[in-house]
A and B are shown apart, each in its own frame.
Chain A
Amino acid sequence: MATGIYAKGKEYKSEVPPTWCAGCGDYGLLNAFMNSLADQQINVNNTALISGIGCSSRFPFFIKAYGFHGVHGRALTIASGVKLANPELEVVAFGGDGDGFAIGGGHVPHMCRKNMDMTYIVMDNSIYGLTKGQMSPTTTPGMKTSTTPYGAPDNPINPLAFVLTYGATFVAQAFSGNPKQMRGLITQAMKHRGFSYINVISPCPTFNKQDTFDSYKEMFEDLPEDHDTSDKPGAIAKALDRTSGKLYSGVYYEDKETPTFLDRIAEQRKTAGAFDFQKILDIYRP
């Protein structure tokens, strides 16, 4: 086995001990992610894990791969640069609900519509964990947080519907309480060509007392067997469906046809013509 590829998930773990609270949902992703790396036989030397700022954004520290922990909200911008500079790399971006959909919310639509060749995994705990419990863009209206002592006045965004609308070509939801299913979804997302998104419901027992493992366990259900992953309006409807009181995990949507950003620019490069320095200067010779 080449160096950098490991048989077992655990072997992908770096020597840095996770900084998360006991019971944090992010551990579920960490385990599932490492197992998926082993399943895929991923080489850490060719892998770059990019994140923003938040509890969840510490994720790359705990894996043996190349990693970049940048600034709040900009993980996708940095990840896109990494991938475009070296398309051979496996690039996965990580972050929290605040990192991705509040401060970084302006970038997500564009990575979706560019169909940027990478995977984005958001650990959604409906709270700002690292900064100790403020309202996040997925906080349930009315929930009391440290900045909203009388209840959150904002309506939440729906991350799945958001990325579906803007053109992500693989969209799934996973639950930290179900790492086995998550492991498979991660593998599917990373194998997908184009922009793949996984919303991981990842409870924060420390600062979000309302959305707990137990409450989520009640609500989570696999997407129905007959869910059509090629039907975008159907996927959006499922993502928005709150009437049943259910949350669905699994693959909402998958589009294997739309060319990726790298596909498109590779095609265009063929039309640019060969490089000839003197020919370029000729344009400027009087």
Chain B
Amino acid sequence: MGHKSDLCIRIGGEGGEGIISSGDILAQAAAKAGLEVLTFKTFPAEIRGGYAMYQIRMSSEKILSEGDGFQVLVVFNKEALDNNINKLKAGNVLIWDGPEGGDINELPEVPEGVIVYNLPMSKLAKVDLGVYRSKNMVCMGALSELFNIPVDRLKEIINNRFGKKGQDIVDLNYKALQLGIDYVKENHQGISNPYNVVAQEQNKDVIIMSGNDAVGLGALMAGCNFFACYPITPATEIAYWVAKHLVKKGGTVVQTEDEISSIGAVVGASFAGAKAMTGTSGPGLSLMTEILGLGVMVEAPLVICDVQRGGPSTGLPTKHEQSDLFLACYGGHGDFPRIVLSAENVADCVDLTIHAFNLAEHYQTPVILLTDGSLGFRTETFEAPDINKVKVVNRKMYNPDTDGEFLRYKFTEDNISPTAIPGMEGCAHMQTGLEHNEKGSPNYGPVFHTKNTEKRFNKIANAEDFFESSHSDIEEGATVGVVTWGSTQGSVREAVQQAREAGVKVSAFYPKLVWPFPMKAFNEFLKTVDKILVPEVNYQGQLAEIIKTKEIGKEIIKYNIYGGLPFEPQEIAKKIKEVQ
């Protein structure tokens, strides 16, 4: 891609100005041009108005995170300019809605070396085209001309998107594109910039999709056939996806009156034999914790995806935070374990949702998958998964020929009791949230509570062996090992690259399974480093605190931010250098 292999364009404006759709179109065009794409969006929690931002990072190589800011800034209004002006650096490009017709009347002074392109998109749309809402398409046209984004690809996407609405709409959008192109040709011939999108051959079958959609896709591939939900930002898109697609495969999707009802229905569906799931965010998971414990008690396979947002309380519905780890690992009354996974990127959302179902079925226990708002919303290119290659695990069913008398909670060597579902002859039994004997009848004696508590913990103790539950990236001679979870792993991967390029030796540990923490792999990793650095987007250092309980005998350095945005890799790289 020209002499820059990595280009990041940030578009800011008012929510509802077509920022999101133009970003989507641009991202798709880049993917069509064979590039890797990773987008990042923030938008206001309010329905109308407020600042929205869409950032598209494109590269000839795999993209690991949102990156370290942008090279190109496009501002649709004054607020977007004000929010970003102090992030502009020499060499960056600024494209602004002016000098006339929009609400930025005058461009304030920008740092030296910033390449500025005037683009009065409001005026071009309103006056020249007569349709103000086509402003974003005027901008797309200009961007394609400035950075060599293939306009044919843009047109193809527009045609696919708007074709259903009629040729008039398609033509209008084409016209708007052309206005932007012509404006640049007529006014900016003399101003060059170093950014140039170079299409490349893509020989993989690539898709571009969001983290939330990817969770839906993973669920479908894992054989999920029941999904219950209550709408909540930033998780609702999972429900949209499954509502549309699971149903085609015979699945059932139901919107319930609250999250308690969702998780209740999921437990019931699981009891009836379904592969059941719910998707929610922190406030919903809080409401679900009583029935989460029930799920563990009755040993129900089920999956909960928590797309984390800023908290506590209603908190920051559309902002980024990873602060539900304690809730996921420890939430609920009583003394019980559960399996917790956390996804790094969009492809991981597919894979880990599949693993979540398989773990749930194999161990007959609830599994919580943690993603987060920025991962849920961001789109990424990755290789299309193959449904025929997916390994699907089903719960161990009772077999009258080999298992003897049916006992739902039979004590077995691996602590997994063959189960039965309603409809099976001769296996009618009770499941209860009360402590019980092997049969499932209430029993509060010390023997059964002791044995069952151990059973519940022991059966998942080796979950780390069930799948590729972590990844160690060890550099010989490194003293610092970076450990983190969730989407921060992407920022760490990129930071590790940056640090190594700068000659700093560093290792990193990437757990996919966060509870029970993959201690076998982690202990091996720890042998290679003197201290660990744990960057997390939360105040308490929730993973660091969990690791502390493992008495690893190494220094644990917390690194926390909690402003509603993800880490920039350069921040972590700097910290690595500092603590090494």
Q: Which residues does A use to contact B, with CB under 8 Å? A: 3-4, 16, 44-48, 50, 53, 60-61, 64-71, 74, 76-86, 88-89, 106-107, 109-110, 265, 268-269, 272-277, 280-281, 284-286
Contact = CB atoms under 8 A, between A and B. Distances in A.
Nearest to A261: B254
A286 B430 contact: no
Contacts of B209: 284
B384 interface: yes
A110 B257 contact: yes
A272 B205 CA distance: 26
A84 B273 CA distance: 11
Contacts of A285: 205-207, 384
Interface string B258-275: 101111111111111110
Contacts of B252: 84-85, 265
8 contacts: A46-B422, A47-B422, A48-B271, A66-B422, A69-B431, A78-B264, A84-B252, A272-B247
Given A64-B428, A89-B423, A110-B256, A82 B264 contact: no
Given A74-B264, A80-B268, A81-B269, A272 B248 contact: yes
Given A50-B268, A78-B267, A265-B252, A286 B31 contact: yes
A81 B208 contact: no
Contacts of A53: 433
A88 B423 contact: yes
A269 B247 contact: yes
Contacts of A45: 422-428
Contacts of A275: 245, 248-250
A78 B267 CA distance: 6
B381 interface: yes
A84 B247 contact: no
A286 B206 contact: yes
Q: Which 6 A-B pairs have the closest CB atoms?
A: A77-B264, A81-B268, A81-B265, A286-B31, A85-B269, A78-B268
Nearest to A19: B442
Given A66-B428, A68-B430, A69-B434, A79 B422 contact: no
Given A45-B424, A284-B208, 4 more contacts: A79-B268, A81-B226, A276-B248, A280-B245
B271 A68 contact: yes
B79 interface: no
Contact of B433 (A4, A44, A69, A84): A69
B470 interface: no
Interface string B406-418: 0000000000000
B391 interface: no
Max chain A CB contacts within 10 Å: which of B28, B228, B257, B425? B257
Given A69-B430, A274-B248, A285-B207, A85 B384 contact: no
Contacts of A107: 257, 260-261, 264
Max chain B CB contacts within 10 Å: which of A3, A80, A273? A80
B37 to A, nearest CB: 8
B129 interface: no
A85 B430 contact: no
A280 to B, nearest CB: 6
Contacts of B387: 277
A275 B247 CA distance: 9
Interface residues of B, number: 65
Contacts of A60: 430
A131 to B, nearest CB: 15
Given A70-B294, A106-B257, A284-B207, A48 B422 contact: yes
Contacts of A66: 422, 428-430
Max chain B CB contacts within 10 Å: which of A45, A61, A82? A82
B159 to A, nearest CB: 14
Nearest to A284: B207
Interface of B: 28-29, 31-32, 205-209, 213, 217, 220, 225-226, 228, 244-245, 247-250, 252, 254, 256-258, 260-274, 276, 290-291, 294, 298, 381, 384, 387, 421-434, 441-442
**Interface SS of chain B:** mixed
A269 B225 CA distance: 13
B427 to A, nearest CB: 8
A110 B442 CA distance: 31
Nearest to A107: B261
Contacts of B270: 81, 85
B342 to A, nearest CB: 23
Given A82-B422, A269-B247, A71 B272 contact: no
A65 to B, nearest CB: 5
Contact of A74 (B226, B248, B260): B260
B428 A4 contact: yes
A77 B206 CA distance: 40
Contact of A80 (B265, B424, B429, B441): B265
A61 B248 contact: no
A272 B208 CA distance: 23
Given A106-B257, A269-B247, A78 B429 contact: no
A89 B28 contact: no
B276 A106 contact: no
Nearest to B245: A280
A281 B208 CA distance: 9
A88 B254 CA distance: 18
Given A66-B422, A69-B432, A84-B226, A286 B381 contact: yes
Contacts of B384: 281, 284-285
B344 to A, nearest CB: 19
A82 B441 contact: no
B425 A4 contact: yes
Max chain B CB contacts within 10 Å: which of A85, A268, A275? A85
A74 B433 CA distance: 12
Contacts of B442: 61
Contacts of A65: 428
A210 to B, nearest CB: 30
A53 B433 CA distance: 9
A106 B441 contact: no
Given A81-B226, A85-B276, A89-B272, A71 B265 contact: no
Max chain A CB contacts within 10 Å: which of B209, B248, B430, B433? B430
B428 A70 contact: no
Nearest to B248: A275
B486 to A, nearest CB: 23
B30 to A, nearest CB: 8
A263 B254 CA distance: 14
A81 B248 contact: no
Contacts of A61: 430, 432, 441-442
A110 B256 CA distance: 8
A286 B271 contact: no
Given A46-B422, A77-B268, A85 B273 contact: yes
Contacts of B257: 106-107, 109-110
A89 B269 CA distance: 12
